[in-house]
């Protein structure tokens, strides 16, 4: 039996699409006789016609994935998409680096491993991006000291 008209009327009444209209298979003969919207409304009240629930996307898999990521899984190089800077921006990387270098410079100045003058020069060098990390800074400080000791030896001659 063709129920397209009844489905169309029911969809209009139930405020849903025709595909979401469910008609009781045992009452098809009775529902087929419905011509007006009032007839269809009567069948909706009786429960012969209903609107199927909306089908959504299940979040179960996403939930499992989220739990895994909390544990540190699924974060390897194979899962990463895009550039390196897509995860941590260039500015954040720079801030982290320069802050640690400047803290180290302050410590070296406090411990009197470098003079105020050297501190000033090294600070400017750090700002220009000369040092890759703290180890690189220490290397430069040792070079500074060597250069100074060479100067003192030349002056003493």
Question: pLDDT truncated to tens, each residue of the chain (157 aa)?
Answer: 799 999 999 999 999 999 999 999 999 999 999 999 999 999 999 999 999 999 999 999 999 999 999 999 999 999 999 998 998 999 999 999 999 999 999 999 999 999 999 999 999 999 999 999 999 999 999 988 888 888 888 888 7
User: What is the pLDDT at residue 155?
Assistant: 82
Residue 45 lies in a domain: yes
- CATH code of the domain covering residue 38: 1.10.1650.10
User: What is the pLDDT at residue 87?
Assistant: 87
Residue 98 lies in a domain: yes
Q: Do 92 and 137 have their domain in common?
A: yes
Q: Do 91 and 47 have their domain in common?
A: no
User: What is the pLDDT at residue 138?
Assistant: 94
The DSSP output letter for 78 is: T
Query: What is the pTM for the complete model shown?
Result: 0.55
Domain holding 19, by residue range, is 4-51
DSSP 103-144: HHHHHHHHTTSS-HHHHHHHHHHHHTT--SSHHHHHHHHHHH
Q: Do 141 and 95 have their domain in common?
A: yes
Number of independent structural domains in the chain: 2
Nearest to 27 by CA among 17, 14, 18, 10: 10
- CATH code of the domain covering residue 104: 1.10.1200.60
Residue 81 lies in a domain: no
User: What is the pLDDT at residue 156?
Assistant: 80
Q: Do 47 and 95 have their domain in common?
A: no
């Amino acid at each position: 039996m063709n129920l397209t008209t009844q489905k169309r009327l029911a969809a209009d009444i139930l405020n849903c699409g025709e595909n979401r209209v469910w008609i009781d298979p045992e009452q098809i003969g009775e529902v087929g006789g419905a011509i007006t919207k009032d007839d269809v409304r009567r069948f909706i009240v009786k429960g012969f016609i209903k609107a199927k629930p909306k089908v959504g996307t299940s979040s179960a898999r996403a939930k499992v994935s989220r739990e895994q990521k909390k544990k540190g899984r699924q974060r390897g190089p194979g899962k990463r998409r895009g550039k390196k800077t897509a995860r941590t921006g260039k500015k954040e990387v720079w801030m982290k680096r320069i802050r640690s270098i400047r803290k180290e410079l302050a410590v070296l100045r406090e411990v009197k491993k470098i003079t105020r003058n050297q501190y000033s020069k090294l600070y400017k060098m750090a700002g220009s991006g000369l040092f890759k990390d703290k180890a690189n800074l220490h290397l430069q400080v040792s070079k500074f000291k060597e250069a100074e000791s060479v100067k003192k030896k030349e002056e003493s001659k």
